[in-house]
A and B are shown apart, each in its own frame.
Chain A
Amino acid sequence: AQSVTQPDIHITVSEGASLELRCNYSYGATPYLFWYVQSPGQGLQLLLKYFSGDTLVQGIKGFEAEFKRSQSSFNLRKPSVHWSDAAEYFCALKRGNNRKLIWGLGTSLAVNP
Protein backbone atom coordinates (compact mmCIF):
# COMPACT_ATOMS: atom_id res chain seq x y z
CA ALA A 1 0.00 0.00 0.00
CA GLN A 2 1.11 3.53 -0.65
CA SER A 3 2.30 5.51 2.34
CA VAL A 4 4.27 8.52 3.50
CA THR A 5 6.46 8.37 6.58
CA GLN A 6 7.92 11.31 8.44
CA PRO A 7 10.21 9.60 10.93
CA ASP A 8 10.70 12.61 13.21
CA ILE A 9 7.65 13.66 15.19
CA HIS A 10 9.38 16.61 16.77
CA ILE A 11 12.65 18.43 16.03
CA THR A 12 14.29 21.31 17.85
CA VAL A 13 17.00 23.42 16.23
CA SER A 14 18.76 26.63 17.14
CA GLU A 15 18.13 29.75 15.14
CA GLY A 16 20.68 30.01 12.34
CA ALA A 17 21.33 26.28 12.25
CA SER A 18 20.66 24.16 9.20
CA LEU A 19 17.56 22.00 8.99
CA GLU A 20 16.65 18.75 7.32
CA LEU A 21 13.20 17.18 7.68
CA ARG A 22 12.85 13.63 6.44
CA CYS A 23 10.12 12.19 4.26
CA ASN A 24 10.04 8.64 2.95
CA TYR A 25 7.39 7.24 0.68
CA SER A 26 6.19 3.92 -0.58
CA TYR A 27 4.81 3.89 -4.12
CA GLY A 28 5.52 1.76 -7.17
CA ALA A 29 5.80 4.54 -9.71
CA THR A 30 7.16 8.08 -9.72
CA PRO A 31 4.96 10.11 -7.39
CA TYR A 32 4.12 13.74 -7.22
CA LEU A 33 5.47 14.99 -3.88
CA PHE A 34 4.65 18.03 -1.80
CA TRP A 35 5.81 19.78 1.34
CA TYR A 36 3.36 21.95 3.26
CA VAL A 37 3.84 24.14 6.32
CA GLN A 38 1.23 24.91 8.97
CA SER A 39 1.78 27.77 11.40
CA PRO A 40 -0.05 27.47 14.74
CA GLY A 41 -3.81 27.77 14.34
CA GLN A 42 -3.59 28.22 10.57
CA GLY A 43 -4.29 26.28 7.41
CA LEU A 44 -1.60 24.62 5.33
CA GLN A 45 0.60 26.48 2.86
CA LEU A 46 2.48 24.83 0.02
CA LEU A 47 6.26 25.16 0.34
CA LEU A 48 7.27 23.26 -2.79
CA LYS A 49 6.39 20.35 -5.02
CA TYR A 50 8.10 17.79 -7.23
CA PHE A 51 6.47 16.33 -10.31
CA SER A 52 9.24 15.76 -12.86
CA GLY A 53 12.59 16.96 -14.08
CA ASP A 54 15.22 18.37 -11.79
CA THR A 55 15.34 16.40 -8.56
CA LEU A 56 16.33 19.45 -6.50
CA VAL A 57 13.31 21.65 -6.04
CA GLN A 58 13.34 25.21 -4.75
CA GLY A 59 10.44 26.53 -2.76
CA ILE A 60 9.27 29.55 -0.85
CA LYS A 61 10.79 30.92 2.38
CA GLY A 62 14.26 29.64 1.40
CA PHE A 63 13.36 25.94 1.52
CA GLU A 64 14.48 23.27 -0.92
CA ALA A 65 13.88 19.53 -1.23
CA GLU A 66 15.63 16.74 -3.06
CA PHE A 67 13.85 13.81 -4.63
CA LYS A 68 15.90 10.61 -4.39
CA ARG A 69 14.23 7.75 -6.20
CA SER A 70 16.77 5.17 -5.01
CA GLN A 71 16.02 6.03 -1.39
CA SER A 72 12.30 6.75 -1.85
CA SER A 73 12.87 10.03 -0.07
CA PHE A 74 11.97 13.68 -0.46
CA ASN A 75 13.76 15.50 2.35
CA LEU A 76 13.19 19.18 3.06
CA ARG A 77 16.16 21.42 3.81
CA LYS A 78 16.93 24.95 4.81
CA PRO A 79 20.48 26.25 5.31
CA SER A 80 19.68 28.69 8.13
CA VAL A 81 16.53 28.49 10.21
CA HIS A 82 14.67 31.57 11.43
CA TRP A 83 12.47 31.71 14.54
CA SER A 84 9.46 32.22 12.26
CA ASP A 85 10.03 28.76 10.76
CA ALA A 86 8.66 27.15 13.92
CA ALA A 87 5.62 25.27 12.62
CA GLU A 88 4.27 21.87 11.63
CA TYR A 89 5.58 20.44 8.37
CA PHE A 90 3.73 17.87 6.28
CA CYS A 91 4.93 15.76 3.40
CA ALA A 92 2.33 14.44 0.94
CA LEU A 93 2.21 12.15 -2.09
CA LYS A 94 -0.12 12.18 -5.09
CA ARG A 95 -0.47 9.08 -7.23
CA GLY A 96 -0.81 9.91 -10.91
CA ASN A 97 -4.40 10.78 -11.75
CA ASN A 98 -5.72 10.13 -8.25
CA ARG A 99 -7.34 13.24 -6.79
CA LYS A 100 -6.43 12.49 -3.21
CA LEU A 101 -3.18 13.06 -1.36
CA ILE A 102 -1.53 10.62 1.00
CA TRP A 103 -0.20 12.49 4.00
CA GLY A 104 2.57 11.95 6.46
CA LEU A 105 1.75 12.59 10.12
CA GLY A 106 3.86 15.71 10.23
CA THR A 107 6.99 16.97 11.96
CA SER A 108 6.75 19.68 14.56
CA LEU A 109 9.67 22.10 14.41
CA ALA A 110 10.72 24.22 17.37
CA VAL A 111 13.38 26.91 17.02
CA ASN A 112 15.50 27.97 19.97
CA PRO A 113 16.70 31.58 20.06
Chain B
Amino acid sequence: DVKVTQSSRYLVKRTGEKVFLECVQDMDHENMFWYRQDPGLGLRLIYFSYDVKMKEKGDIPEGYSVSREKKERFSLILESASTNQTSMYLCASSFSSGRAHEQYFGPGTRLTVT
Protein backbone atom coordinates (compact mmCIF):
# COMPACT_ATOMS: atom_id res chain seq x y z
CA ASP B 1 0.00 0.00 0.00
CA VAL B 2 1.08 3.52 -0.78
CA LYS B 3 1.88 5.50 2.29
CA VAL B 4 2.08 9.27 2.51
CA THR B 5 3.02 10.61 5.91
CA GLN B 6 3.02 14.13 7.23
CA SER B 7 5.23 15.23 10.08
CA SER B 8 2.49 16.57 12.35
CA ARG B 9 -1.27 16.13 12.64
CA TYR B 10 -1.69 19.34 14.63
CA LEU B 11 0.56 22.35 14.85
CA VAL B 12 0.22 25.67 16.67
CA LYS B 13 2.57 28.50 15.72
CA ARG B 14 2.83 32.20 16.44
CA THR B 15 2.56 34.96 13.88
CA GLY B 16 5.92 35.62 12.24
CA GLU B 17 7.39 32.22 12.95
CA LYS B 18 8.98 30.15 10.20
CA VAL B 19 7.04 26.92 9.79
CA PHE B 20 8.10 23.70 8.12
CA LEU B 21 5.61 21.03 7.08
CA GLU B 22 7.16 17.77 5.96
CA CYS B 23 5.73 15.10 3.71
CA VAL B 24 7.23 11.71 2.89
CA GLN B 25 5.98 9.09 0.42
CA ASP B 26 7.23 5.54 0.08
CA MET B 27 6.14 4.64 -3.47
CA ASP B 28 8.83 6.30 -5.55
CA HIS B 29 6.30 8.76 -6.98
CA GLU B 30 7.65 11.46 -9.25
CA ASN B 31 4.97 14.03 -8.40
CA MET B 32 4.25 15.55 -5.04
CA PHE B 33 1.70 18.21 -4.14
CA TRP B 34 0.80 20.57 -1.32
CA TYR B 35 -2.79 21.70 -0.90
CA ARG B 36 -4.61 23.76 1.65
CA GLN B 37 -8.20 23.04 2.50
CA ASP B 38 -10.60 25.60 3.92
CA PRO B 39 -14.36 25.31 4.51
CA GLY B 40 -16.31 26.19 1.40
CA LEU B 41 -13.19 26.59 -0.72
CA GLY B 42 -12.34 22.95 -1.37
CA LEU B 43 -8.75 21.95 -2.11
CA ARG B 44 -6.45 24.62 -3.45
CA LEU B 45 -3.05 23.75 -4.86
CA ILE B 46 -0.15 25.67 -3.33
CA TYR B 47 2.85 24.10 -5.08
CA PHE B 48 3.76 20.85 -6.72
CA SER B 49 6.97 19.13 -7.71
CA TYR B 50 7.54 16.74 -10.60
CA ASP B 51 11.14 15.80 -9.83
CA VAL B 52 13.89 16.42 -7.32
CA LYS B 53 14.64 20.15 -7.09
CA MET B 54 11.85 20.89 -9.61
CA LYS B 55 8.76 22.78 -8.58
CA GLU B 56 5.85 24.69 -10.03
CA LYS B 57 3.50 27.20 -8.49
CA GLY B 58 -0.06 26.20 -7.97
CA ASP B 59 -3.05 28.45 -7.59
CA ILE B 60 -2.13 30.12 -4.28
CA PRO B 61 1.67 30.15 -3.83
CA GLU B 62 1.91 33.54 -2.12
CA GLY B 63 3.42 33.31 1.34
CA TYR B 64 4.74 29.79 0.78
CA SER B 65 7.83 28.11 -0.56
CA VAL B 66 8.76 24.47 -1.06
CA SER B 67 11.80 22.24 -1.10
CA ARG B 68 12.40 18.86 -2.65
CA GLU B 69 15.93 17.65 -2.08
CA LYS B 70 15.09 13.94 -2.17
CA LYS B 71 12.51 12.16 -4.27
CA GLU B 72 10.53 10.88 -1.31
CA ARG B 73 10.35 14.13 0.65
CA PHE B 74 8.54 17.38 -0.08
CA SER B 75 8.56 20.26 2.38
CA LEU B 76 6.24 23.24 2.59
CA ILE B 77 7.69 26.35 4.21
CA LEU B 78 5.83 29.31 5.62
CA GLU B 79 8.57 31.95 5.79
CA SER B 80 6.63 34.18 8.20
CA ALA B 81 3.40 32.62 9.37
CA SER B 82 0.29 34.76 9.41
CA THR B 83 -3.14 34.15 10.88
CA ASN B 84 -4.67 33.79 7.41
CA GLN B 85 -2.52 30.72 6.91
CA THR B 86 -4.46 28.88 9.58
CA SER B 87 -5.78 25.91 7.63
CA MET B 88 -5.65 22.18 6.95
CA TYR B 89 -2.64 21.29 4.82
CA LEU B 90 -2.71 18.14 2.73
CA CYS B 91 0.19 16.50 0.95
CA ALA B 92 -0.29 14.14 -1.98
CA SER B 93 1.84 12.17 -4.40
CA SER B 94 1.38 10.41 -7.73
CA PHE B 95 3.20 8.77 -10.58
CA SER B 96 4.04 10.85 -13.63
CA SER B 97 1.40 12.22 -15.95
CA GLY B 98 0.27 10.50 -19.11
CA ARG B 99 -2.10 8.04 -17.52
CA ALA B 100 -4.96 8.18 -15.05
CA HIS B 101 -2.66 8.06 -12.08
CA GLU B 102 -4.51 9.05 -8.95
CA GLN B 103 -3.08 11.14 -6.17
CA TYR B 104 -2.48 9.54 -2.80
CA PHE B 105 -2.99 11.72 0.24
CA GLY B 106 -1.45 12.02 3.65
CA PRO B 107 -3.61 12.47 6.79
CA GLY B 108 -3.21 16.24 6.80
CA THR B 109 -1.73 18.80 9.17
CA ARG B 110 -4.06 21.20 10.90
CA LEU B 111 -2.07 24.38 11.40
CA THR B 112 -3.21 27.14 13.70
CA VAL B 113 -1.35 30.47 13.64
CA THR B 114 -2.05 32.69 16.63
**Which A residues are within 8 Å of any B CB, using their own CB?**
32, 34, 36, 41-46, 49-52, 90, 94, 96-101, 103-106
Partner of B31, one of A32, A36, A46, A99: A99
> Quick check: which of B12-20, B60-68, B105-113 contacts chain A, the rest being far away?
B105-113
Q: Which 3 A-B pairs have the closest CB atoms?
A: A51-B100, A43-B105, A32-B100
Which B residues lie within 8 Å of A41 (CB)? 108, 110
Given known contacts A43-B108, A49-B102, A99-B97, what 6 new A-B pairs fall within 8 Å (CB)? A41-B110, A50-B100, A99-B48, A100-B45, A101-B103, A103-B43
Query: Is the CB–CB distance between A44 and B90 below 8 Å?
Result: yes
Query: Is the CB–CB distance between A105 and B100 below 8 Å?
Result: no
Which A residues lie within 8 Å of B104 (CB)? 46
Closest A residue by C-beta to B110: A41
CB B107 to nearest CB in A, in angstroms, measures 5
Cα-based distance from A101 to B40 in the complex (angstroms): 18
Closest A residue by C-beta to B37: A38
Partner of B105, one of A45, A49, A100: A45
Q: Which of A43, A49, A52, A104 counts the most B-chain CB atoms under 10 A from its CB?
A: A43
Cα-based distance from A104 to B92 in the complex (angstroms): 17
24 pairs of residues in contact across A and B, judged by CB atoms under 8 Å:
A32-B100, A36-B105, A41-B108, A41-B110, A42-B108, A43-B105, A43-B107, A44-B43, A44-B105, A45-B105, A46-B102, A46-B104, A49-B100, A49-B102, A50-B100, A52-B100, A90-B42, A90-B43, A96-B97, A97-B97, A99-B48, A99-B96, A105-B42, A106-B42
CB A64 to nearest CB in B, in angstroms, measures 17
Within 8 A of A (CB), among B12-46: 31, 33, 40-43, 45
